[in-house]
């Protein structure tokens, strides 16, 4: 009798009861199903296996596979739940970076949305890069706002901002370079030009962005299936159509400021520990807000998130 040799691969797509896996960075898809017993585990999430998961599967004679094990996740993000049920849906796991596509206007990406998004990425320990998209629309009249934006997110918070335009095909060289050898997730509010940008990164993907209109047709009560796409220039990406935001991990109130990099830098020197950076004397965070190294904008976002955290307790 032949002995079966188990193989390791990454889940790249999930449709119904089937999972497509590939031994990344190779792109050779194997259709798998879950071994019955495995299905019972992980009942806290609506999907026991997510895109990006590394799994062990037993190859079958017909070329398919049976998944027997899900390996521990390096990280994962969940979708903000739309109802009150505590069930979480894992969007993707084992991400190397997240690209947050934003526009200053047409449409306006609210800064509070950006702050929440970045906090979530910090909490999940996933590096975030801001793509300031539709750069062709950032005319002279936006120069003050643009300067403020850079000062807040690059100078003070330390994030990498890259100006892009799917329309102009800018700056695809840099973006492609950053995607090489990595699994990247693209996110952003609807209308910021995310699909156009992804399509200009790799025109071969344009067929697949049809999935997006499909999503809108389905309405909000159906499950969206996320998938990993290979980029012809190297690396793998996941698009997140229709995402309003990520679900926050449960965290202690005191932890929140750790997810603002510019606060993390100074908070060890606050006189009181823990410090909520609201009313305590000798607070280095408040000092930094006063001298401008932490911007008022980010501090206000912090306060409003802190307040909302309290409300849910």
Using the rule CB under 6 A, give the single segment among 17-25, 111-119, 147-155, 190-198 that binds ligand GDP: 190-198
Under 8 Å between Cβ of 94 and 74: yes
Which of Zn ion, ligand GDP, none does residue 167 bind (CB under 5 to 8 Å by kind)? ligand GDP
Instruction: Give me the residue label for tokens 């188990």.
Output: 6
The CA distance from 83 to 81, in Å, is 6
Residues 6+ apart with CB under 8 A from 197: 101, 131, 133, 164, 165, 166, 175, 186
- In angstroms, what is the minimal distance from the CB of 141 to ligand GDP? 15
Is the CB of 34 or the CB of 104 nearer to ligand GDP?
104
Angle, in degrees to the nearest 10, between helices 284-291 and 296-311:
140
Which of 38, 66, 137, 303 touches ligand GDP (CB under 6 A)? 137
**214 touches ligand GDP (CB under 6 A):** no
Please, which of residues 211-270 interact with Zn ion by CB under 5 A?
270
Which of Zn ion, ligand GDP, none does residue 270 bind (CB under 5 to 8 Å by kind)? Zn ion
Which of 77, 118, 283, 305 touches Zn ion (CB under 5 A)? 283
Using the rule CB under 6 A, give the single segment among 69-77, 82-90, 140-148, 184-192 that binds ligand GDP: 184-192
Is the CB of 129 or the CB of 306 nearer to ligand GDP?
129
Sign of CA dihedral 197, 201, 203, 209: negative
Using the rule CB under 6 A, give the single segment among 21-29, 60-68, 128-136, 275-283 that binds ligand GDP: 128-136
**129 touches ligand GDP (CB under 6 A):** no
Is the CB of 190 or the CB of 222 nearer to ligand GDP?
190
The CA distance from 241 to 220, in Å, is 12
**109 touches ligand GDP (CB under 6 A):** no
The CA distance from 280 to 8, in Å, is 52
- Site size toward ligand GDP (CB under 6 A) is 15
Residues that bind Zn ion (CB under 5 A): 270, 275, 277, 283, 285
Residues that bind ligand GDP (CB under 6 A): 133-134, 136-137, 165-167, 188, 190-196
């Amino acid at each position: 009798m032949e002995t079966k040799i188990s193989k390791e691969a990454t889940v790249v797509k999930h449709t119904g009861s089937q999972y497509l896996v590939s031994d990344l960075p190779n792109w050779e898809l194997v259709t798998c199903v879950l071994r019955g017993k495995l299905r019972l585990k992980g009942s806290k999430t609506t999907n026991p296996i997510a895109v990006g998961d590394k799994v062990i599967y037993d190859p079958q004679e017909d070329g398919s596979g049976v998944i027997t094990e899900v390996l521990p996740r390096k990280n994962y993000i969940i979708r903000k739940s739309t109802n009150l049920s505590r069930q979480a849906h894992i969007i993707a796991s084992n991400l190397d970076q997240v690209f947050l596509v934003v526009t200053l206007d047409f449409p306006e990406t609210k800064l509070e949305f950006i702050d929440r998004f970045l906090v979530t990425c910090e909490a999940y320990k996933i590096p975030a890069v801001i793509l300031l998209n539709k750069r062709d629309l950032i005319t002279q009249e936006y120069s003050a706002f643009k300067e403020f934006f850079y000062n807040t997110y690059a100078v003070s918070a330390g994030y990498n901002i890259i100006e892009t335009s799917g329309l102009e095909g800018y700056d695809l060289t840099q973006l492609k370079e950053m995607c090489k050898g990595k699994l990247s997730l693209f996110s952003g509010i609807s209308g910021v030009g995310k699909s156009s940008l992804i399509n200009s990164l790799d025109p071969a993907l344009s067929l697949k962005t049809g999935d997006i209109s499909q999503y809108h047709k389905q309405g909000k009560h159906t499950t969206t299936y996320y998938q990993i796409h290979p980029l012809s220039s190297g690396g793998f990406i996941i698009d997140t159509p229709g995402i309003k935001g990520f679900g926050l991990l449960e965290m202690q109130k005191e932890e929140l400021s750790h997810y603002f990099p510019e606060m993390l830098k100074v908070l060890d020197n606050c006189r009181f520990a823990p410090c909520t950076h609201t009313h305590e004397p000798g607070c280095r965070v408040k000092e930094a807000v006063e001298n401008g190294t932490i911007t008022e904008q980010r501090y206000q976002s912090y306060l409003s998130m802190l307040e909302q955290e309290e409300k849910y307790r």
